[in-house]
């Protein structure tokens, strides 16, 4: 279909089949962008190296294009973790390093205090969750926000506002929700679908052209619905400092 960015993680338990799929695809390695992530209990320097070695082995790759801290951990030594990732980059095992699920205070620590070359912050972002604070910080620094759960775990399908916009454009509510993200400066989206038809529909979201009325209607939706909030998550409302 043309997909070239693969987002996986050690926690997903699917790196081995992803690696097999890459090997069988016939697509040149240089044409792929492969992202994987280290789990929050593997952030000590030695553990990070082992985690990456394990991921590379399962993926059958000699490097990944992007390696992320999957979740921050309470009491973690962030400077040590990020300096380890920088060394892994220098060794050619990763092309870029980044973070996921980082709050604004954690981003400030990583970027301003530690000075790490953060390539992105991957966070939950969709039509029901406001991330304007993160975007206001990331955009001037040219750090992309990568939106996971971009169709709110399928909840957009039953939204009457999105359904009305979708009908106007001959699209689906999920395509409208995806294009709303893709139209934003500094935002990319990583939808997932197990069905080929869903995968094609996600790609076809690029064909939707939203207008100002559509964007105003979407802006009127509630923006306080966080769907991914495990017990180990950081304090999302922590002051920026």
Residues marked as catalytic: 12
Owner of token pair 């604004």 = 104
The percent of the chain in helix, strand and coil, each rounded to the nearest 5, is: 45, 15, 40
Print burial letters for 84-103: b (CB count within 10 Å at least 16), e (below 16). Answer: bbbebbeeebbebbbbbbbb
| DSSP β-bridge partners for residue 187 | 145
Sign of the torsion angle spanned by Cα atoms 45, 47, 51, 54: positive
- Write out the DSSP string of 126-144: BTTB--HHHHHHHGGGT-P
Dihedral sign from CA coordinates of 9, 10, 13, 18: positive
């Amino acid at each position: 279909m043309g997909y070239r960015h693969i987002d996986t993680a050690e926690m997903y338990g699917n790196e081995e089949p992803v690696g097999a799929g890459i090997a069988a695809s016939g697509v040149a390695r240089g044409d792929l962008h492969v992202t994987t992530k280290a789990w929050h209990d593997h952030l000590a320097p030695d553990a990070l190296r082992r985690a990456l070695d394990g991921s590379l082995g399962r993926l059958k790759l000699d490097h990944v294009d992007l390696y992320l801290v999957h979740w921050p951990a309470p009491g973690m030594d962030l400077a040590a973790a990020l300096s380890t990732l920088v060394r892994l980059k220098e060794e050619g095992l990763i092309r870029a390093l980044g973070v996921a699920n980082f709050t604004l205070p954690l981003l400030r620590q990583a970027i301003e205090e530690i000075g790490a070359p953060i390539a992105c912050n991957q966070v939950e972002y969709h039509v029901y969750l406001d991330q304007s604070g993160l975007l206001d910080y990331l955009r001037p620094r040219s750090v992309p926000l990568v939106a996971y759960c971009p169709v709110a775990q399928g909840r957009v399908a039953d939204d009457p506002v999105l359904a009305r916009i979708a009908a106007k454009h001959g699209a689906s509510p999920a395509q409208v929700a995806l294009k709303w993200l893709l139209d934003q400066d500094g935002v990319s989206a990583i939808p997932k679908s197990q069905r080929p038809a869903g995968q094609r529909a996600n790609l076809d979201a690029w064909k939707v052209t939203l207008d100002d009325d559509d964007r105003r209607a979407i802006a009127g939706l509630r923006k306080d619905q966080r769907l991914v909030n495990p017990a180990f998550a950081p304090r999302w409302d922590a002051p920026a400092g």
